[in-house]
């Protein structure tokens, strides 16, 4: 197993133990009702899931550019007539 897999297993085990050790009920104030008795397990679990979803949505890449060179060429103005050299310039080049 790789170090990444082992660390994920350890973090998952620690998170599961933390959730089950905090299973007593506490008063929780919702927007609609006041002092509803809810298990800490549910509150912490919901917060973890919501945090994961928000982190996933915010952290994903917006746009993948296939080739940076293609993007540059697409934004460059095109030269319509390449025969714009003067006779003097043509003599200098040849």
Q: Within its chain, how far is the Cα of 55 from the centroid?
A: 6
pLDDT digits (tens, 9 = 90+) for 30-68: 777 778 888 888 888 888 899 999 988 888 877 665 666
H helices present in 29-84, as ranges: 40-59, 68-75
Nearest-angstrom CA–CA distance, 73 and 94: 29
pLDDT digits (tens, 9 = 90+) for 11-25: 999 988 887 888 788
Q: Is 77 helix (H, G, I), strand (E, B) or coil?
A: coil
Nearest-angstrom CA–CA distance, 47 and 55: 12
Nearest-angstrom CA–CA distance, 64 and 30: 41
Global pTM value: 0.47
Nearest-angstrom CA–CA distance, 18 and 40: 10
């Amino acid at each position: 197993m790789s170090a990444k897999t082992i660390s994920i297993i350890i973090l998952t085990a620690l998170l599961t133990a933390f959730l089950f050790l905090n299973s007593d009920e506490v008063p929780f104030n919702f927007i609609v009702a006041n002092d509803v008795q809810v298990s800490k397990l549910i509150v912490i679990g919901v917060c973890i899931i919501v945090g994961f979803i928000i982190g996933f949505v915010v952290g994903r890449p917006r746009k993948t550019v296939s080739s940076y060179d293609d993007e540059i060429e697409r934004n460059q103005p095109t030269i319509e007539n390449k025969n714009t050299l003067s006779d003097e310039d043509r003599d200098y080049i040849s």
